[in-house]
Amino acid sequence: MESLLHDLRFALRQLRRSPGFTLAAVLTLGLGIGANATIFNWGNRLFRHPLPGVDRANLYYLRWTLPGGHRGSTSWPTFQDLRERSHTVSRLAVGRQTALSLGEGNRPERVFGMLVSANFFDLLGVRAQQGRTFRPEEDRGPGAHPVAVISDALWRNLLGADPRIAGRTIRLNTHAFTVVGVMPPGFQGSTVGLWHDVWLPVTMRRAIMGSDAELTERGDRWLEAYFRAAPGVSFAQAGQELNAIAAQLSREIFKSDWFARVDAVPIWKHAAGQVLGPLLLVMGGVVAVILLIACANVGNLLLARGGAAAGNRGAPCARRESRPLAAATAC
């Protein structure tokens, strides 16, 4: 311990003697270390904690592939049929992201929200910290249930953390909605990398998007689907059953073998996660190179400083070369 303290005191004395060199070294290393720490934190959030507060056990995103290879989503009628006929899926929910205007007047606030099925929060395993989430009947009947669930951030930042928020009316896209619940702090929704502040029943589509025809048209694939596999069922088995149901529906309704196939993928790969994953890997490589360059620069600074110090020590002896041998030896 004494040796360590002695080394620390010596190092501090050396740093005080060369403040310019110390500042340059600290800033250079700080840049490299800070960039790497930032990318590490982002990667940790994406891969280990992609959806704060959500129970991710057996939770998957349904990725639809249309004939011809094009990506697609699902329709509201198809979702209802899949939910009723599936035996390998314990819960199936849908949602659609949308931008919203909160408030009235000349300066409404822009917030991001989702139109979701009533069982959306049950699927994610999240409960409201105040009030409640949606009831099963609140995704039945177009326009019949103007209710909203909001995030903790929205409640605190824009609504003054009103303790009696449940039952209060807010205006979204100029339409009145009754707040029925506030979600826990940190909860951001079902999409990795995106933050949502308001959730509304799918059946309120007309108030938000201007039309509710998509609630009856099977060909309008506008909803993203998520499911939780039943206990003991793998996502591959659930995907096979959902594909079989989709083929059955196509033959029953359209008298055709044309149907969209579905793949079950981990929830973090949904939407932004598909882009952020490869992007973070590339950025990780870039910042690793930055750290190596920073270390090399500090190494060059040390070499330059060491060379300058050696030159300063040797200069007096060089000036005394003409002195007697004894004096030169003393140098």
Question: Does a structural domain hold residue 312?
Answer: no
Closest of 179, 182, 260, 178 to residue 218, by C-alpha: 260
Q: Report which residue type is found at 175.
A: H
Q: 3-state DSSP call for residue 59?
A: strand
- Do both 111 and 142 map to the same domain? yes
- Do both 278 and 266 map to the same domain? no
Token digits of residue 128: 């409201």
Q: By the 8 A CB rule, do 53 and 186 touch?
A: yes
Q: Give, for all 331 residues of the chain, the pLDDT tens digit.
A: 678 787 677 667 766 777 777 787 788 888 888 888 887 776 666 666 667 778 877 888 888 887 777 777 899 999 999 999 999 998 999 999 999 999 876 788 999 999 999 999 999 999 999 999 999 999 888 999 999 999 999 999 999 999 999 999 999 999 999 999 999 998 988 887 778 999 999 999 999 998 889 999 988 889 999 999 888 888 788 888 998 998 898 899 888 878 778 888 877 666 554 555 666 677 778 878 888 887 887 778 777 766 766 666 655 554 444 445 444 444 4
- Do both 165 and 203 map to the same domain? yes
- Do both 149 and 188 map to the same domain? yes
In angstroms and rounded to an integer, the radius of gyration of the C-alpha atoms of the chain is 31
Q: Does an H or E element contain 72, and which?
A: strand 71-72
- Do both 71 and 197 map to the same domain? yes
- Do both 224 and 133 map to the same domain? yes
- Do both 167 and 127 map to the same domain? yes
Total of domains in the chain: 2
- Do both 110 and 242 map to the same domain? yes
- Do both 74 and 166 map to the same domain? yes
How far apart, in whole angstroms, are the C-alpha atoms of residue 188 and residue 197? 7
Question: Does a structural domain hold residue 259?
Answer: yes
Domain that holds residue 125: 59-270
How far apart, in whole angstroms, are the C-alpha atoms of residue 39 and residue 46? 10
